[in-house]
C-alpha cells in the first residue's frame, strides 16, 4: 500500500526530524511504501532565509520598513546563523539519508492541489501540525485539503499542543477534520478539543515511541564522534529559551553529583555550562541523550527520548507559551508528573513500571495504525 505522510519535517528541529523518520520507519516495517510529502511553506523557510522577517517578530516593523533596513537585518541574522552552519549540514544530511521525500517539492497549498502526490492513504502527523497558534495550524495542507476526495485520510498523533482551537477557527477546523476516516491525536487534551467539535479522536503516542530503545540506540550509534571535552559523566541541558529555572536546577544537580554540564544549542550558548555544542544534528542529539546521566530541558522530544532511553530527566514548561499540555499529558500517563516543573531533585525513576505503562500505550497506538490502514481498504 502506498502512503504519503505530511508533517513539519524540514524545520531544523530535532524532534520534528526524528518523529517524521519514526512514522515513516514504522509504516515501512508493516510493508507499506511510504513517502513524506516534501511540503515546505514560506513560514518554514525563515531560519536560513537571511532576508525573511517573520510577521510575529519584534523586529518586523523596524527592519521591514525599507530595503536598507532589510539588508541590515540580513547581515545581522547571517552573523548569528553562520555559527550554526555545521548544524544545518547535519540536519540536511539526515534528511537526505533517512527521510524518503516525494520527488515533487511543494511550497504552497495551491501547488499541492494542482499536482497532488498519488497514494492509497494520506496521513497527517505527527507533531504540532494542528496548533492554531502557529502558521501550520491554520494551513489547509496539514488537514490534507488536497488530492482525490476518495483517497483515505487519517491522522496519526497530530498535536494541537495548546488548550483550545484559536478563536473563530472552530468551524473551519471542524469542516476540515470531517473529511478524515480516522483521527488520532497526541494529547488527551486534543481528544477533548476534537470531541467538542463533534468528531471522535483517539489518543496515541508520538511516533518516536513506536520504535524500541534498541532501535534508537542503533540510530544514535550512527552519529559523529562526541566532542573530546565530554569524557566523563554529564548533565545534558537542552534549553532554547535560556530559562533561569533550568539554570538554577542544573546548578543543584551539579552541586549534588559533581558532573560535567553540556548544552545543545544553536547560536546562543549558555554561559553557565562546561561545554556548548552548536553543531549537533538529529543523530548527535540522540547520542548525547543516550549517554547522558541527567537531562534537563523544556523540550517535548528531549523528554520523550529520555523516557525511551530510560534516563533520569527533568522538564520545564516553556516560558510565556501555552503549550505545556503536551508534556503534562505524556508524563501524567506514565506516572512521571513529578518530573515536570520540579523544584527538588527526585528519586531515580523506576523504569520497570514506566515500561509496562508505555508498552500498553504502544499496543493501542500500533492497533490504531493497523486498523486505520487496513480497515475498509
Helical pair 300-308 and 282-291, crossing angle rounded to 10 deg: 50
Q: What tens digit of pLDDT does each residue of 106-118 get?
A: 999 999 999 999 9
In this prediction, residue 50 carries a pLDDT of: 55
What CATH number should be reported for the domain whose range is 2-46+85-210+361-374?
A: 3.40.50
In the chain, where does DSSP find H-type helix? Answer: 14-29, 60-63, 67-82, 85-98, 109-114, 170-177, 188-195, 213-220, 244-257, 282-291, 300-308, 325-333, 351-374
- Confidence band for 44, pLDDT divided at 50, 70 and 90: confident
**Residue 350 — left, alpha, or beta (φ > 0 → left; ψ -120 to 50 → alpha)?**
beta
Domain 221-346 sits in CATH at 3.40.50.2000
Query: Is it the case that residue 340 has pLDDT exceeding 60?
Result: yes
Q: What does the alpha-carbon distance between residue 288 and residue 281 come to, in Å, rounded to a whole number?
A: 11
Task: Please tell me the distance from the alpha carbon of residue 150 to that of residue 372, in angstroms, as a whole number.
Answer: 15
Residue 140: per-residue pLDDT: 97
Question: If DSSP codes are grouped into helix, strand and coil, which group holds residue 207?
Answer: helix
What cell was used for 311?
Answer: 534516563
Residues of the chain with CATH 3.40.50.2000: 221-346
Residue 57 above 60 pLDDT?
no
The residue count for the chain? 377
Separation of alpha carbons 292 and 4, rounded Å: 35
Tell me what pLDDT residue 181 has.
96
Q: Smallest Cα–Cα separation from 164: which of 373, 375, 308, 323?
A: 323
pTM for this model (two decimals): 0.91
Average pLDDT, integer, range 50-69 = 54
Neighbour tally for 281: CB within 10 Å: 23
Q: Reply yes or no on whether the pLDDT at 82 is more than 90.
A: no
Lowest mean pLDDT among 54-58, 160-164, 168-172: 54-58
Using DSSP, state whether 34 is helix, strand or coil: strand
C-alpha cell at 132: 492554531
Q: Mind listing the pLDDT tens digit for each residue in 221-269?
A: 999 877 777 888 999 999 988 999 999 999 999 999 999 999 998 778 8
- Measure the N-to-C terminal CA separation of the chain; round to a whole number of Å: 10
Q: Which helix (H) or strand (E) holds 275?
A: strand 275-277
Mean pLDDT of 189-197: 93
**Which residues are bridge partners to 313 per DSSP?**
295
Q: What are phi and psi of 77, to 5 degrees?
A: -65, -40
Cell of 367: 492497533
How does the average pLDDT of the chain come out, rounded? 89
Confidence at residue 357, expressed as pLDDT on a 0 to 100 scale: 96
Amino acid at each position: 500500500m502506498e502512503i504519503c505522510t505530511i508533517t513539519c519535517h524540514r524545520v531544523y528541529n530535532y524532534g520534528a526530524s526524528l518523529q517524521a523518520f519514526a512514522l515513516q520507519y514504522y509504516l515501512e516495517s508493516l510493508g507499506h511504501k511510504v513517502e513524506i510529502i516534501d511540503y515546505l511553506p514560506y513560514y518554514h523557510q525563515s531560519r536560513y532565509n537571511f532576508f525573511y522577517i517573520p510577521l510575529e517578530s519584534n523586529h518586523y516593523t523596524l527592519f521591514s520598513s525599507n530595503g536598507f533596513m532589510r539588508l541590515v537585518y540580513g547581515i545581522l541574522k547571517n552573523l548569528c546563523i553562520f555559527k550554526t552552519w555545521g548544524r544545518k549540514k547535519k540536519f540536511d544530511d539526515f534528511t537526505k539519508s533517512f527521510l524518503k521525500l516525494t520527488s515533487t517539492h511543494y511550497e504552497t497549498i495551491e501547488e499541492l492541489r494542482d499536482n497532488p502526490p498519488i497514494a492509497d492513504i494520506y496521513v497527517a502527523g505527527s507533531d504540532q501540525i494542528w496548533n492554531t497558534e502557529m502558521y501550520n495550524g491554520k494551513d489547509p495542507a496539514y488537514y490534507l485539503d488536497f488530492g482525490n476526495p476518495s483517497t483515505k485520510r487519517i491522522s496519526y498523533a497530530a498535536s494541537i499542543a495548546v488548550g483550545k482551537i484559536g478563536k473563530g477557527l472552530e468551524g473551519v477546523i471542524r469542516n476540515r477534520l470531517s473529511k478524515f476516516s480516522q483521527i488520532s491525536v497526541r494529547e488527551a487534551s486534543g481528544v477533548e478539543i476534537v470531541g467538542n467539535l463533534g468528531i471522535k479522536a483517539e489518543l496515541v503516542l508520538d511516533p518516536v515511541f513506536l520504535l524500541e530503545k534498541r532501535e534508537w540506540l542503533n540510530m544514535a550509534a550512527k552519529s559523529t564522534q562526541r566532542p573530546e571535552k565530554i569524557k566523563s559523566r554529564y548533565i545534558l541541558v537542552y534549553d532554547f529559551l535560556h530559562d533561569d529555572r533550568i539554570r538554577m536546577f542544573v546548578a543543584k544537580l551539579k552541586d549534588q553529583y559533581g558532573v560535567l554540564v553540556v548544552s545543545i544549542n544553536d547560536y546562543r550558548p549558555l554561559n553557565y555550562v562546561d561545554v556548548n555544542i552548536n553543531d549537533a544534528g538529529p543523530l548527535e542529539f540522540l547520542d548525547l541523550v543516550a549517554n547522558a546521566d541527567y537531562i534537563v530541558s523544556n523540550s517535548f522530544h528531549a523528554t520523550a527520548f529520555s523516557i525511551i532511553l530510560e534516563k533520569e530527566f527533568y522538564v520545564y514548561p516553556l516560558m510565556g507559551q501555552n503549550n505545556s499540555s503536551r508534556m503534562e499529558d505524556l508524563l501524567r500517563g506514565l506516572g512521571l508528573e513529578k518530573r515536570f516543573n520540579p523544584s527538588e531533585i527526585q528519586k531515580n525513576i523506576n523504569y520497570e513500571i514506566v515500561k509496562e505503562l508505555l508498552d500498553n500505550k504502544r499496543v493501542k497506538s500500533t492497533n490504531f495504525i493497523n486498523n486505520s490502514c487496513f480497515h475498509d481498504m
